[in-house]
Amino acid sequence: MNAMPALPLRVLVVDDEALARSRLRTLLGDCKAPAAQLVAEAAHAHQAQDLLRLERFDVALMDIHMPGMDGLTLARTLQAVAHAPAIIFVTAHTEHALEAFEVDALDYLTKPVRLERLQAALAKVERFLQSRIAPVDDANALVLVIQERGRTERVPLAEVVYFKAELKYVTVRTGQRSYILDGSLNELEARFSEQFLRVHRNALIARRAVRALEKHYEPEEGEGWAVRLSGVDELVAVSRRQLAAVRALLGR
């Protein structure tokens, strides 16, 4: 399957020096492989925390020495946050490199930053993000690699019952529990169309898990249809457009 064109990495810059932020802004504009989009800047850690609650970022370029909460402390607070951005420290001080990697930083850049070095660090971020959905080499079985609350979970695709879009993220539902995946339904559908069927603008269901098609009432949409799936109690709504595909899957 051909790879989908990569979107620019969404970047947050955290540095108390306006000149340093300006320098990174210029460098990010020159990054091409991967491309990077500066989404927001923060002059201190508390401002960064506010931005992280409002926006999704792929990577935070973060200074260490800042007034108030320093960059290392901010990084520690993000270890317990689901879907926190990858962290790259950008600092004039070399003595904190060991501590930086103890808080799961992907890279550690020293000022003044060169474009080639920044580009290499962003390439690490891109590989990290791509690894969240990866094949298991020794079993020819697909897994989802999910970063959640400071842990890495490997969820076999064969255990997933449905994917459902929820705001900026995707809920991954198995028979045992739910996970949150930083991705898009369109990407999942493109990669796993043989295993999953789009039944609604916000849902993909496992073809193997479909048990029944039932009449169903949704408060926002009125009377319609839903599928009952093996392993979970909740129904998944089916749009009128996808009704024929579900019926064909059931042989009706």
Q: What is the mean pLDDT of residues 107-117?
A: 90
- 109 and 208 in one domain? no
- 45 and 104 in one domain? yes
Write the CATH number for 120. Answer: 3.40.50.2300
Give the whole-angstrom CA distance, residue 73 versus residue 103: 9
- What is the total count of domains within the chain? 2
- 120 and 161 in one domain? no
Is the pLDDT confidence value at 104 over 70?
A: yes
| Domain-embedded: residue 245 | yes
What average pLDDT does the structure give for the chain? 84
Give the whole-angstrom CA distance, residue 112 versus residue 12: 18
- 122 and 14 in one domain? yes
Write the CATH number for 198. Answer: 2.40.50.1020
- 193 and 110 in one domain? no
Please tell me the number of Cα atoms within 13 Å of 99 on its side-chain side.
14
| pLDDT tens-digit map of 202-233 | 999 999 999 999 987 766 666 789 999 998 99
**Domain span at 49:** 9-130
Q: What is the mean pLDDT of residues 127-142?
A: 58
Tokens of 102: 């103890």
pTM value is: 0.54
| Domain-embedded: residue 53 | yes
- 124 and 36 in one domain? yes
- 168 and 124 in one domain? no
| Domain-embedded: residue 121 | yes
- 185 and 76 in one domain? no
| pLDDT tens-digit map of 73-100 | 998 888 766 678 889 999 888 777 777 7
Query: pLDDT at position 55, please?
Result: 85
| pLDDT tens-digit map of 46-64 | 999 999 888 889 899 999 9
- 37 and 93 in one domain? yes
| Domain-embedded: residue 80 | yes
Is the pLDDT confidence value at 124 over 60?
A: yes
Percentage of residues in the chain having pLDDT higher than 90:
42
3-class SS string, the chain: CCCCCCCCEEEEEECCCHHHHHHHHHHHHHCECCEEEEEEEECCHHHHHHHHHHCCCCEEEECCCCCCCCHHHHHHHHCCCCCCCEEEEEECCCCCHHHHHHCCCCEEEECCCCHHHHHHHHHHHHHHHHCCEEEECCCCEEEEEEEECCEEEEEEHHHEEEEEEECCEEEEEECCCEEEECCCHHHHHHHCCCCEEEEECCEEEEHHHEEEEEEEEECCCEEEEEEEECCCCCCEEECHHHHHHHHHHHCC
Is the pLDDT confidence value at 136 over 70?
A: no
- 30 and 99 in one domain? yes
| pLDDT tens-digit map of 157-170 | 899 999 998 777 88
| Domain-embedded: residue 75 | yes
Residue 147 near residue 132 (C-beta atoms within 8 A)? yes
- 62 and 124 in one domain? yes
